[in-house]
Amino acid sequence: MPERMRHVPLDMEKAKRPEAEIHIIKDQCKGCGFCIKFCPQKVLEESQEINARGVHPPKIVDESKCVICGFCTAVCPDFAIFVVEKLSKEEIKK
């Protein structure tokens, strides 16, 4: 537990980690690698396929590790990647 947090929150068992849905527009990627380099959870890596621009776009390694921080979206100069939160079954029913 981080030092700045002295006590465990009382409703910790109710809290759930948000589930991410990562979208990569492969043909828009120019292969700069910023999204891979700056991902704090190392969710992305370079793929072996080649896109329309002739570069290797990123691929998702483990989507469950994504914390939806938005760094990949913020650093992508071509707007080729974005992340949204998956809706739970309860939220879909509403």
CATH of the domain at 72: 3.30.70.20
Task: Provide CB contacts within 8 A for 45, sequence distance 6+.
Answer: 36, 58, 59, 61
What range does the domain containing 49 cover?
32-86
Structural domain contains residue 20? no
User: What is the tally of structural domains in the chain?
Assistant: 1
pLDDT for 1 beyond 70: no
Query: Against a cut of 0.75, is the pTM above it?
Result: yes
Residue 1: inside a domain: no
On whether residue 69 sits in a domain, the answer given is: yes
According to the model, what pLDDT value does residue 86 have?
Answer: 87
In a domain, 10, yes or no: no
The answer to whether 25 touches 80, Cβ cutoff 8 Å, is yes
25 lies in some domain: no
Q: What is the pLDDT of residues 40-80, one digit of tens each?
A: 999 999 999 999 999 999 999 999 999 999 999 999 999 99
